[in-house]
A and B are shown apart, each in its own frame.
Chain A
Amino acid sequence: MSSDQTRPKYIHERMGGQCEASDIARYVLVPGSENRVERFASYWDQPRKVAHHYEFLVYSGQLNGVPISACSTGCGGRSVSIAVDEMANLGADTFIRVGVTGGIQPDIEIGDLIIASAAVRMDKTSEHYVFVEYPALAHFEAVSALIAAAEELGHPYHVGIGATASSFYAGEGISGYGGYRHSGMDHIESDLRAAGVLDWDTETATLFTISSLYGLRSGRVNAVVDDPETGAYNPVGEERAIEVGLLAIEIMAEWDRDKVTTGASYAVPPVVKEGS
């Protein structure tokens, strides 16, 4: 391939011109941090670094025979949107985000996993893609696979709606430098708690909205690492989330192979026949 064809047309295309479609698997893990990409790759066969451009560290390899990629997204909607658009252009069709979070509901403990079925679109980035009343949905196959993985590994988990903010300190009602607060920060978390929202992050709604619009599949598992009530921080759940994310992709790959064999369009549980 000539250098003209490999040179990107804009700065982030193919992650700075470092990747080709052949480098990226159908299944892509999208954590926030670069460190988590390396931790994923430590579980794979033949892991190789594909690109490292801004906050995007991309690895590809094999997970028990399943071709797999991981791409860090950095923090925030704008970063995630670039990663997802580029990965999709290179052939990815299934995204599993593995992140860390703080819980909003009182029954959520540090170390629990939160599997998102949908997300609250306070990210703003997704509004550049589609009007705000469009729902940010996980794909039901990804939700099912993450549940199946958490059950199989015996890790504690919750399933429900997560909130995505467009900033960490102000958007999640934490407080800025010098204790900076505005009045909206005082009731944002209590309103979301009343609405049954499980947790905070700054990426999921962007990922879900974009993949739903593009007809791609996405899912998300977050590990609860801090408790806003007590101020405690403990990253014990992060390894659990990594294990669940990896196993969920193995499970989806198995279901996808079954679909090819049986001709089914979607993975669903078996049906009990009428009157039996």
Chain B
Amino acid sequence: MTDARENVHSRFGGKASKDDIAEYVLVPGSKARVRAFMEHWEEAYEVADHYEFLVCSGIYEGERITACSTGIGGMSVSIAIEELARLGAKTFLRVGVTGPLVDELDYGDLVIATGAVRWDGTSHDYVRPEFPAPAHFELVMASIAAAENMGLPYKIGVIGDMASLGPMREDGYRHFLTRRTKPMKEEMYRAGVLDGTGEGATMLVQAALFGLRGGIININAVDVENDRWDPAADRKAVEAGLETLRILAAWDGQKEAAGRKYTVPLRK
């Protein structure tokens, strides 16, 4: 079976090769966050800049690493994951910013996804709607360990993924919303969904289908009480993402050396 015919997005416009892409890949939405990751790396170079996809690779804490912006929405992220997977990526960690949906979420909290609600649309092109969008448990554990290690407040749970901002904002331009959109937020609230994003479920479904690992860390950058958005939150999410992959790579090394299939907590 061949991967696919050549197309406009193959290897990010023909600019990336297998040698360029690491097994560990950070997938933020914005290109700015790719550059923020690079500032922390020992070595870094630009692989491709094609449509919304800025792909950079380098070395972080001695480990090969890649970052690829996905742009916004399921269609964009699905192209990025397809291309990265074909070029050898095995582990995807999405790092993003978000606003809160449930009351328990505090300003500045990291939101570690255990799975996502498939209101993205794109993942339904891949597999039936009953199929779950789960984060890989090793990435959930590594994200928790990273947050604990950095002393950052965090919550874990199911997050939302929506094909538009409509359900979160409740009123579109000139207050346009379909009757169906308005109750979506209430439904997610009742189900305890922590926050809303536009990319998570697509990526988690693809990773699960392809037998790869996917995880998501968002930071709640919306200060509801003071009605402001904190750009410094971005920096914390970037550092938490890097720390998560550092921890995961160390666990992977230990498990390979011991001949184990999975990393699990120790017993006494």
Contact surface of A with B, Cβ cutoff 8 Å: 117-122, 130-137, 139-141, 143-145, 147-148, 151-152, 159, 161, 191, 195-197, 205, 212-213, 215, 251, 254-255, 258, 264-272, 274-275
**Distance to closest chain A CB from B91 (angstroms):** 15
CB within 8 Å for A269 and B267 given contacts A137-B114, A137-B132, A140-B141: no
How far is B98's CA from A269's CA once the two chains are assembled, in angstroms?
A: 28
Inter-chain contacts of B260 with A (CB < 8 A)? 151
Q: Whole-angstrom distance from the CB of A51 to the nearest CB of chain B?
A: 30
Shortest Cβ distance from residue A208 to the other chain B in the assembled complex, whole angstroms:
8
| Interface pair B158/A135, CB less than 8 Å apart | yes
A-B CB contact pairs (8 Å), 28 listed: A117-B134, A120-B130, A120-B131, A133-B129, A135-B115, A135-B116, A135-B158, A139-B114, A140-B137, A140-B141, A141-B265, A143-B137, A144-B141, A144-B265, A151-B260, A161-B132, A161-B208, A196-B210, A212-B115, A213-B192, A258-B268, A265-B144, A266-B141, A269-B145, A269-B251, A269-B263, A271-B149, A271-B247
Interface of B is mostly: mixed
**A251 and B267 in contact (CB under 8 A), knowing A132-B129, A140-B114, A269-B141?**
yes
Q: Which of A144, A215, A268 has the most CB of B within 10 A?
A: A268
Per-residue interface assignment for chain B, residues 242 to 268, with 1 indicating a CB less than 8 Å from any chain A CB and 0 otherwise: 000011001100100000111111111
Measured CB to CB, the closest approach of chain A to B94, in angstroms, equals 15
Report if A268-B144 is in contact (Cβ < 8 Å); known contacts: A133-B119, A151-B260: yes
Residue of A139, A141, A161, A271 contacting most chain B CB atoms (<10 Å): A271
Give A72 to B26 CA distance when docked, in angstroms: 44
Tally inter-chain residue pairs, CB-CB below 8 A: 128
Bound CA span A227–B201, Å: 33
Tell me if A268 and B132 are in contact (CB < 8 A). no
Pick the contact of A191: B118, B128, B129 (CB < 8 A).
B128
With CB as the reference atom, state the residue of chain B lying closest to A197: B131
Would you call B3 an interface residue if the criterion is a C-beta within 8 Å of the partner chain's C-beta atoms? no
- Give the docked Cα–Cα distance between A264 and B134 (Å): 23
Q: Given contacts A212-B114, A212-B158, A271-B149, could you give 5 more A-B pairs where the C-beta distance is less than 8 Å?
A: A147-B262, A152-B267, A196-B210, A197-B131, A271-B247
A274 touches B130 (CB 8 A): no
Give the residue of A161, A266, A268, A271 whose beta carbon is less than 8 angstroms from that of B134.
Answer: A161
Complex-state Cα separation, A122 to B132, whole angstroms: 11
Q: Can you list, as one digit per residue, whether each of B95-124 has a CB less than 8 Å from chain A (1) or not (0)? A: 000000000000000000011111100000
Given contacts A133-B117, A135-B115, contact A268 B130 (CB under 8 A): no
Contacts of A264 in B (CB 8 A): 148
**Nearest Cβ on chain B to A21's Cβ, whole angstroms:** 24
Q: In the bound complex, what is the Cα–Cα distance between A161 and B145 (angstroms)?
A: 24
Residue B140 interfacial (CB < 8 Å): yes
Q: How far is the CA of A161 from the CA of B128 in the complex (A)?
A: 14
Whether A144 touches B264, Cβ cut-off 8 Å, given contacts A130-B191, A272-B250, is: yes
Residues of B within 8 A of A135 (CB): 115-118, 132-134, 158
